[in-house]
């Protein structure tokens, strides 16, 4: 009796988890296709905007980690 009950409970729980996973994946897929393509759109990082909503005029620290080919940046004066 207890073996049959445990088998049924295990099956119900596994089915619930599996359906929840598919539901979550379906929701994520629908949300992704609804947002559309952002190619070409420009987004300003929030830390570049001052308290008035304009792009800051402060000097920015830029760190360059080398070229795409892996060679480090050479500094020349």
pLDDT at 35: 65
CB 23 within 8 A of CB 30: no
Q: pLDDT digits over 12-65, tens only? A: 999 999 999 999 999 888 877 666 677 788 888 888 888 898 988 888 887 776
In a domain, 16, yes or no: yes
pTM over 0.85: no
Q: Domain range for residue 20?
A: 2-40
In a domain, 72, yes or no: no
In a domain, 35, yes or no: yes
In a domain, 60, yes or no: no
Q: Which residues of 59-77 are buried (b: 16+ CB within 10 A; e: fewer)?
A: eeeeeeeeeeeeeeeeeee
Look at residue 75 and tell me whether its pLDDT is greater than 60: no
Count of domains forming the chain: 1
Look at residue 8 and tell me whether its pLDDT is greater than 60: yes
In a domain, 73, yes or no: no
In a domain, 70, yes or no: no
């Amino acid at each position: 009796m207890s073996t049959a009950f445990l088998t049924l409970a295990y099956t119900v729980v596994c089915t619930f988890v599996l359906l929840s996973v598919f539901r979550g994946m379906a929701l994520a897929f629908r949300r992704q296709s609804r947002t559309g393509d952002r190619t070409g759109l420009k987004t300003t990082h929030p830390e570049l905007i001052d308290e008035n909503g304009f792009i800051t005029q402060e000097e920015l620290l830029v760190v360059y980690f080398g070229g795409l080919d892996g060679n480090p940046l050479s500094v020349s004066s």
